[in-house]
Amino acid sequence: MKKAELVFVPAPGIGHLVPTCKFAVNLLNLDEQLCITMIIIRPQAPFDVGIDAYIQRFSSNTAVDHRIRFIKLPQVALPPLEEFTKSMENFFSLLISSYKPLVKDAIINNKHSNTKIVGLVIDMFCSSMVDVANELGIPPYIFFTSGAGFLGFVLYLSLWHSQNGREFSLTDTDLDMPSYANLVPSNVLPTFAFYKEGYTAFLNLGARFKETKGILINTFAELEPHAVNSLASHPELPPVYTIGPHLDLAGKKGREDNKEEIMKWLEDQPPSSVLFLCFGSMGTLEVLQLQELANALEQSEVRFLWSIKMPIGSEYGKFDELLPEGFLIRTKDRGMVCGWAPQVHVLAHKATAGFVSHCGWNSTLESLWHGVPMATWPLHGEQQINAFQMVKDLELAVELRMDYRMGKISDGGILRAEEIENAIRCIMDSENPVRKRVKEMRDKSREVLMEGGSSFVSLRHFLKTILDG
């Protein structure tokens, strides 16, 4: 009897590859007869950062590595860089589409003789690969690495377009979207929604989702009940499986491995006393904004661990050149400033009490897993609407800002120290009811993947579906 094989096509980015690999391992643990092939798209630098290193580390640390293999595709020419300047989303859509022939050839030429391919699991940004699945007669599925609320927004684009025929504007009235319990202000929509190229790219992505046999979301039903229910009642959608959270709890190695120094510093801090500030791998703040944030930290008198990604043109680690004169000296007894930080280990530490975050979905799930409440400071991608959902719909975060954004659309410039300080004091307040709700969600996020939990049941259901064919 032939074994079942699933083929995955993750998007070329660590934030997508990591949850995809974790999802794959959880599937393999459910069925010993299943094997998985990962087809890896590795664009040219700088779009390939960390991919090879993660695959090597994953392969050496995974107990089921004999049942998962990686096929690395050759690189193709990048789309014109002016496309990236106009719209990162459209640039990546063009890039992924150009890999379709290579993905098809990789599946045909690397098929195991003793397996039957039962599905092609495609990243949310790779939905053009539905064409490859159709050509080869393989059932296609989408793995949506963000949340159910944002999936609902992507699907809402087709309704909006049929009624308005245009991208969004900051002057649009509040929007009634099925996947959000509250009306959504236009200023918390993702930046791509305001530009024709990015808007069109996501409009097209969402249209392809409806052509698949199912959508797998890196979330869990207890976290986003309203959004999940709205998707379940969507008349045009295939089955939706909430199968998360899939997290890299081992953490990834940074540019400089100062983990030991950071963890030693945390060990010396009292329990639940430290505010962690980290804005993701792409989160670079302007120098003026860094200085306002530094002033807020100094005035708040809280203990803090601050991970700073250096602005372009600044020498790595020269924090004293970016921050107010004397700041590092005045706060050395209660604060630590670093470059890279081992985020999952910091969030897991008993000293960590709050997290000023960009609200990327992986970071959001990590903060909930460890029971650390967030103060929202979104920068790009879908982070603004994630922040809105966490603050307004779910009441699991403190609002610092929901409409802050990097890039072309400005919401009024620099966040001032007083506003930041108020949010810091709020997130660190031990009596804040958000803290209790986040602790409760921490427990639920761990239970859902245990036998009988909602995500475990959903994973089982998906597995039965593909195996029954």
Query: Token pair for residue 446?
Result: 């761990």
Q: Which residue has the tokens 């940074």?
A: 254
How many other C-beta atoms lie within 10 A of the C-beta of residue 166? 11
> Counting beta carbons within 10 angstroms of the beta carbon of residue 69, is it exposed (0 to 12), middle (13 to 18) or buried (19 or more)?
middle
Which residues contact residue 249 at a Cβ distance below 8 angstroms, ignoring those fewer than 6 apart?
344, 348, 369
* Whole-angstrom distance, CA of residue 33 vs CA of residue 401: 48
CA distances from 319 to 257, 285, 312, 327, 416 (A): 17, 13, 13, 10, 20
Burial 289-307 (b: 16+ CB within 10 A, else e): bbbbbbbbbbebebbbbbb
CA dihedral 199, 200, 204, 206 (to 10 degrees): 20
Q: Is 66 a catalytic residue?
A: no
How many other C-beta atoms lie within 10 A of the C-beta of residue 355? 26
CB 7 within 8 A of CB 74: no
Beta bridge partners of 397: 374
From the candidates 16, 226, 246, 380, which is the catalytic residue? 16
Helix, strand, coil proportions of the chain in percent (round to 5)?
45, 15, 40
Query: Token pair for residue 394?
Result: 């779910």
CA dihedral 151, 152, 154, 156 (to 10 degrees): 170
Q: Which residue has the tokens 């991208």?
A: 167
From the candidates 52, 105, 112, 123, which is the catalytic residue? 123
* Whole-angstrom distance, CA of residue 138 vs CA of residue 119: 6
Query: Token pair for residue 45?
Result: 């630098």
Distance of CA 261 to the CA centre of its chain: 27
Q: Is 248 a catalytic residue?
A: no
- Read off the amino acid at residue 369: W
CA distances from 400 to 52, 240, 390 (A): 36, 32, 12
> Counting beta carbons within 10 angstroms of the beta carbon of residue 353, is it exposed (0 to 12), middle (13 to 18) or buried (19 or more)?
buried
Cite the active site residues. 16, 123
